[in-house]
Amino acid sequence: MGDARVTYSVIFQGDHGTAAASSTTKRYGPGQRARYLKHILDSQSKILATDSNTQVWLWKRYLKMAARAGGLESYQTLRQAARLTAGRKRLLAAYWAVWRVLAQFAQRQALTSALSNTGPAARAIPRACATRAPKTYGPISPEGQHKPSRL
């Protein structure tokens, strides 16, 4: 075999004791991770054809990351995949569709949260600091005492 270089590999070079070294997810977005998985599916297709469990697992990871990144390219790639049976393609297409809906919902929730100012920063107020007025069923007197109401 010749000296083939893979340009899509993710190899961390640096201090492995840092937070950045502990999580690939925090360093790379879903689009880039989808491209890495697609490269593995393309470059190792002959080997993956002999192990259907690994092949399906890689397809699931690829479709999930691509669905989170947006677009229809991964779905079109799945439809054109020659080494998958029709039944597997249907199941994987359903898997992609579920992740696409979940990704859209998450994006919509993040946007709504940012616009309404009820995001993580607003929810970070400790409950101990929050004060709530007691429930009353009648008007409050000027002295701050609750007047009983007749129900």
Count structural domains, the chain. Answer: 1
pLDDT for 134 beyond 50: no
**Judging by beta carbons within 10 Å of its beta carbon (0-12, 13-18, 19+), is residue 39 exposed, middle or buried?**
middle
Q: What is the pLDDT of residues 12-60, one digit of tens each?
A: 566 666 766 666 666 778 888 899 999 999 999 899 889 989 999 999 9
Q: Are 37 and 69 in contact (CB under 8 A)?
A: no
In the chain, pLDDT over 90 holds for what percent of residues?
A: 19
pLDDT of residue 75: 87
Q: Are 60 and 95 in contact (CB under 8 A)?
A: yes
Q: Which domain holds residue 52?
A: 19-119
> Does any domain span residue 128?
no
Q: What is the DSSP string of 32-68?
A: HHHHHHHHHHHHTHHHHTT-HHHHHHHHHHHHHHHHH
Q: What is the spatial distance between Cα 117 and Cα 79, in angstroms, rounded to a whole number?
A: 41
pLDDT of residue 16: 66
pLDDT of residue 128: 44
> Does any domain span residue 113?
yes
